[in-house]
Amino acid sequence: MYYSLYIIAASVAVFVAEVFAAKPMMALFAFTPSAALAMPWTLVTSVFMHGGLDHIFFNMFALIMFGPLLEQKLGSKRFLALYIAAGIVGNIGYWIYAYTLGNPAVPGIGASGAIYGALGALAVLEPNLTVFAYPFFIPLPLWMAAIGWIFFEFIFLGSADLVGRAAHLGGIFLGIAYAYFLKRKADAAAYWE
């Protein structure tokens, strides 16, 4: 069974709990940059929280579409490590943004940084995979869609739409870096065989 499916199940379970206990869950598990040092667990727990049905739907839709494929390429343990690491790095990106241009008292939640990390890694490992990229839904190779998503996130960084664009960027850059590391490692091993 794919770890990505367990992540979806955990995210849905947390979302159901949020419906019944939103305030205490936000207080204890959302990543708030101004409280990050006092509550370091929120770097991870916030990745499993979502702000509404549309938020969880689109994140889990992306995870079900790309997670199992990336998990086949990396193996389940590496996939899980990348997912969690990209979520953490995404939150660190949000922390940097909040202290430089935003408001460090505004909490951030969602799996988007982790999802973008998976997309970044897959764009390196399967660059010619055809995807129908939002917002235009035209077929593109994944590498081109990833560049478009990065550009889009930079363009709208700082907009008032409450989207954690800095978290998206942190996640995708970690995913890209990790996949390049794996490719170089494999190339080096092949060279010495």
Q: Rounded to whole angstroms, how far apart are CA atoms 87 and 55?
A: 15
The helix (H) or strand (E) run that includes residue 131 is strand 130-133
| Residues ≥6 apart with Cβ < 8 Å to 42 | 29, 30, 31, 32, 35, 36, 91
What's the rounded Cα separation, in Å, for the pair 155 and 43?
25
Whole-Å CA distances, 142 to 99, 120, 147: 32, 9, 9
Cis peptide leading into residue 68 (ω within 30°): no
Residues tagged active-site: 112, 168
Q: Say whether 114 sits in a helix, a strand or coil.
A: helix
Contact 114, 168 (CB under 8 A): no
DSSP state of 139: E
